[in-house]
Amino acid sequence: MVLHIAVHVQPGAKVARVGGSSDGVLQVAVRARAVDGAATDDVERVVADAFGVRHRAVTCVRGQRTRHKVLAIDGDLVLLAAIHADLLAQERFC
């Protein structure tokens, strides 16, 4: 099953991390700059690590060139939804 999540990306951050929410949107900070899709690739890797799935299980389905993205995560829907809720509940960092 596939879980679709909305994320807000902070490219060029000192530390890559996932957690916190702004209006129900998951916050993701990545070290890569927003040049030639590098930040989007980094977002997919960082989110995959946070959700405990393979890197290729995460795909950007909307917003490849913007800070607001929709990601599709392939895996156990119940487990992914629980992890998503936990990450949203964390204190916001950006």
Note the pLDDT tens digit of each residue in 4-37. 999 999 999 999 999 999 888 999 999 999 898 8
The CATH number assigned to the domain holding 15 equals 3.30.1200.10
pLDDT of residue 23: 86
Under 8 Å CB-to-CB from 11, ≥6 apart: which residues? 30, 32, 33, 34, 39, 42, 67
Q: Tell me, yes or no, if the pTM score tops 0.85.
A: yes
Is the model's pLDDT at 93 over the cut of 70?
A: no
Q: Cα separation of 94 and 87, whole Å?
A: 14
Q: Domain residues for 23?
A: 2-89
Would residue 80 count as lying in a domain? yes
